[in-house]
Amino acid sequence: AVAEVKLRDDQYTLDHMRAFGMYNYLHLDSWYQDNVYYVDQFGRVMNVSVTLDTALQKPREVFRLPTDLTAYDNRLCASIHFSSSTWVTLSDGTGRLFLIKSGKRGNNASEKWEIVFNEELGSPFIIAHSVSFVKSDMRSVAVLLLRVEKDELDTKGSGFHITLEWVTIAEISKEGDHRYEIFKRRVLQGKSVPHYAAIEPSGDGLMIVSYKPFKFMQDEDNKLEEENDDAKATDEKKDPLYYWQQTEDDVTITVHIPQEITKDDIKVHFSPDNIRVTLKDQPPLMEGKLYSSVDHESCTWIIKDNKSLEISLIKKSEGPRWPELIIGDTRGEFIMDSSQCSEIAESLMHLTSEVMNPNPEKENPPCNAQELEECDAFLEDSASLCRFDGDTLKVTHVINLGSNQYLFSVVVDPREMPCFCLRHDVDALLWQPHSDQPENMWEHIATFNALGYVQASKQDKKFMTCAPDYSYAALCECLRRVFIYRQPTPLSTVLYNRKEGRQVGQVAKQLVATLEANDPILGFQATSERLFVLTTKTLFLIKVNPGN
């Protein structure tokens, strides 16, 4: 039987359920279609491949985990990821990572899986993603490990946080001896299990779709540096160098000056577009291009109470407000008087309303909540898609997905990153990330009409996927039922829409398969022709499309 690991009593949060309770125990080898793998209760990695149209070969063992899994109390399920056509990453669920050279896999290949790296990496994890790449003639494999860890500091939330560890293992040659060693380890932390997390094929970056943001945890040295930078920034923030106010006609600047400074020490130079203020022989206190022109001959300055210098600038053109005083200078602070505040509030009044939708009869209302049904509401307000740079560990792109609910991810081309599917209104759109194309980083490659709407009503859905050629999408419930949604296909007969009297050229079919099994569904994978559905003791094969 499949080595299913049930959630323990201390794994009670929604994040545990998402990461481990909804784990897909069936692994599709995208490099060799129609080959699936699972780990059985003896710790054997079993391969099942399709021989004839719907005939499955007997499961055959390709690898056996060296650890006796029954001896561990707090283990997770074993996880597999195919990094390339010849490399596999494998975790036994106890916190140990294996890097395996599998050679050519696939139909009747006499596979010999050979361990080239095997190390304990801390607390138990599952493999979220992995890629294999060559950089400067050095073979590397990058792996993303997912953990849900207890968070002692989190007293208000669930008491857990999520970590994603990005481990790079590289081939090191020492005196003719080739070995694989850990080259880099970086950790990201967040407060929700990511919907999607994948390393770019080049190993240079990382993309994450999650409800709550992730950020890199720095080493102690970096942390101190950052804290110093933060401290500097807050010091700078504390006291602005000058304060300024404006009316329609003039601008008043107030600068605090040391007590020993006298009138003779101060030099203020006005020109139509610039200002320069110097104290004694020091570098200029303020200098730069003004936001707009002034009548420089009418500008004045005085010293008030021996403590501050007050400068008055007369605007050349009355009326327009200046958003800044000196272009690019952020050291000053603008002070608005109460009459200006109420004036601005009044001018924005027409954009706000006391009523949620004051004029529902108006054409194209912004959003009509009545059109949404109960099943359309989903728990999370909005997820975001972030890309992290592997060198700087900084976020380079952030996209707020808003109400575009995340549905599933699928591998269309194993050489590219996995695609993700988002709900757009009633439809479901499939997006392919291209990390090497900054101008077209996410490409829309397929649409499943009305799938967003249809899937929302399936309360018991467990897994969802689509064929790599987009010919159908499929979802399964926790028990027995599988729904298949085909793309529209041309009709051989004539069909009319009775209501509108127009001829229908294409029709999209929905199929429902009911499995003869009482065990819950543990795994679900789709190829262009077939669907594989795994329960504890049975693997079902559903033929969806005829072979080409």
User: Which of 2.60.40.790, 2.60.40.1660, 3.30.200.20, 2.40.128.260 would CATH assign to domain 242-330?
Assistant: 2.60.40.790
DSSP H or E segment with residue 154: none
**Per-residue model confidence (pLDDT) at position 365:** 47
Place of tokens 């209302």: 365
The CA-atom distances, in angstroms, between 211 and each of 152, 162, 214, 282 are 22, 12, 9, 52
pLDDT score, position 51: 79
Confidence of residue 257 (pLDDT cuts 50, 70, 90): confident
Would you call 297 helix, strand, or coil by DSSP? helix
Mapped onto helix, strand or coil, the DSSP state of residue 439 is: helix
pLDDT tens, 150-173?
Answer: 988 877 788 899 999 999 999 988
Q: Is 243 helix (H, G, I), strand (E, B) or coil?
A: strand
Q: Is 157 helix (H, G, I), strand (E, B) or coil?
A: coil
3-state class of 19 per DSSP? helix
| pTM for the predicted model, two decimal places | 0.72
218-245 per-position pLDDT tens digit = 764 455 555 555 555 555 456 788 888 9
DSSP-derived 3-state class of residue 14: helix
**From residue 373, how far is each of 289, 376, 453, 483 by CA, in Å?**
56, 5, 10, 21
Q: How many whole angstroms separate alpha carbon 158 and alpha carbon 8?
A: 16
Residue 368 has pLDDT above 70, yes or no: no
Ramachandran quadrant class, 175 (left: phi over 0; alpha: psi -120 to 50; beta: rest): left
Q: Tens digit of pLDDT for each residue in 100-138?
A: 999 888 766 667 889 999 999 999 999 999 999 998 788
Predicted pLDDT at 232: 55
Which stretches of 183-267 are DSSP H helices?
Answer: 220-238
Answer whether residue 370 shows pLDDT above 60: no
Q: What is the pLDDT of residue 181?
A: 93
**Do 400 and 406 form a contact (C-beta atoms < 8 A)?**
no
Percent of the chain with pLDDT over 70: 89
Domain spans of the chain?
1-224+382-402, 242-330
Q: Which residues neighbour 428 within 8 Å (Cβ) at sequence distance 6 or greater?
A: 407, 421, 422, 447, 448, 451, 452, 455, 473
121 contacts 95 by C-beta, under 8 angstroms: yes
**Whether 91 contacts 78, CB under 8 Å:** yes
- Residue 31 near residue 84 (C-beta atoms within 8 A): yes
